[in-house]
Amino acid sequence: MTKTTHTVFGAGQVGRKLAAELLARGHEVRLVRRGAPGESRPGLTWVQGDVTDPAVADAACAGAEVVYNCVNPSDYTRWGEVLLPLYRAVRDGAARSGARLVGLDCLYMLGVPEGPIDEDTPLAPCSHKGELRAQLVEETLAAHARGDVHVTFGRSPDYVGPETPSSVVFHDRFLSRVRGGKAVEVFGDPDLPRSYAFTPDVARGLAILGTEPRALERRVWMLPVIAAPTTRALVESFFEVAGHPARLRRVPTWLVGGLGVFSPLMRNVHEMLYQWEHPYRVDDRRFREAFGVMATDAREVARVTLAGGDASGAVDAQAA
């Protein structure tokens, strides 16, 4: 394998795992964040600065073969102000450097699709956040069509995994309650078809999109999802591993809406609850067939997440 330089923007719950995955594949990695650098590691260079400053973006992208966009504004309530400048800055930095761009994407821009979600599902946002994500996708694909930048998107539903505190369902409180055999809260209908992605699998999928020639065949790929058909089924895997009977407590939508009157965060959460009130199942067949990669088994997901460790040894978020 030829050693190349890869730049990862965003050192959060996916970005750090992606950096470690690329290092394990023998590449040089630049990991870009606004905050202080993390722990050093051979082959890893930390870049600190504001990505929206073109000088910072250019320095981070210079000489990179591939640039990965894993940035995600930490303040969920201010997406309208900060999301567009962040994503445009990463895209433009990659374009100026001539690097290929791999973007980590969510499903917000797809609204409430009929049937399984795949690479051909049209953009049909039904929320403000979905409209923002759709705008970014359209802008970036237009830049690709003009020849400004070569882009590939990896799309993923909500996360679960070790060191994944922003998971909507499988967050630190959930894990603590499962370990103690206590009831856990879930949104919407836990028996509806619902896909989730294991963050180490997401990182591995992005690394594949940045290093495998076949990834260039498509602009959008659905990254691998856990083969658990419903939220309840995945939650039960966690309780099984913890050695306790499963106990779920459904959070009424009206309660989240009521709390939104007083809490901007809950108001923003309420906006996205449609994802748990309708079937939301991802078809990752194209990715699996193209690259021969399967998602981690649900029970292993639960074991690794509850232990706070890694499924394969290749993804070491602590070291990155």
Say if 275 falls within a structural domain.
no
What pLDDT, on a 0 to 100 scale, did the predictor assign at position 54?
Answer: 97
Global confidence as pTM = 0.92
What pLDDT, on a 0 to 100 scale, did the predictor assign at position 264?
Answer: 53
Q: Please choose, from the candidates 157, 141, 178, the residue with its C-alpha nearest in 3D space to the C-alpha of residue 226.
A: 157
Say if 217 falls within a structural domain.
yes
For the domain that residue 58 is a member of, what is the CATH number?
Answer: 3.40.50.720
Say if 307 falls within a structural domain.
no
What pLDDT, on a 0 to 100 scale, did the predictor assign at position 296?
Answer: 97
Ranges of the chain whose pLDDT falls below 70: 1-2, 76-77, 253-270, 309-320
What pLDDT, on a 0 to 100 scale, did the predictor assign at position 309?
Answer: 63
Say if 144 falls within a structural domain.
yes
Q: Are 103 and 69 in contact (CB under 8 A)?
A: yes
What pLDDT, on a 0 to 100 scale, did the predictor assign at position 50?
Answer: 94
What pLDDT, on a 0 to 100 scale, did the predictor assign at position 73?
Answer: 81
What pLDDT, on a 0 to 100 scale, did the predictor assign at position 275?
Answer: 86
Say if 277 falls within a structural domain.
no
What pLDDT, on a 0 to 100 scale, did the predictor assign at position 233?
Answer: 97
Q: How many domains does the chain have?
A: 1
Question: What CA–CA distance (Å, rounded) separates 123 from 144?
Answer: 17
Say if 37 falls within a structural domain.
yes
Q: Does residue 247 come out as left (phi exceeding 0), alpha (psi in the -120 to 50 range) or beta?
A: beta
Structural domain range at position 85: 5-157+197-224
Say if 296 falls within a structural domain.
no
Question: What CA–CA distance (Å, rounded) separates 196 from 296?
Answer: 11
Q: Please choose, from the candidates 148, 151, 32, the residue with its C-alpha nearest in 3D space to the C-alpha of residue 95.
A: 148
Say if 169 falls within a structural domain.
no
Angle between helices 128-146 and 79-97 (to 10 degrees): 10
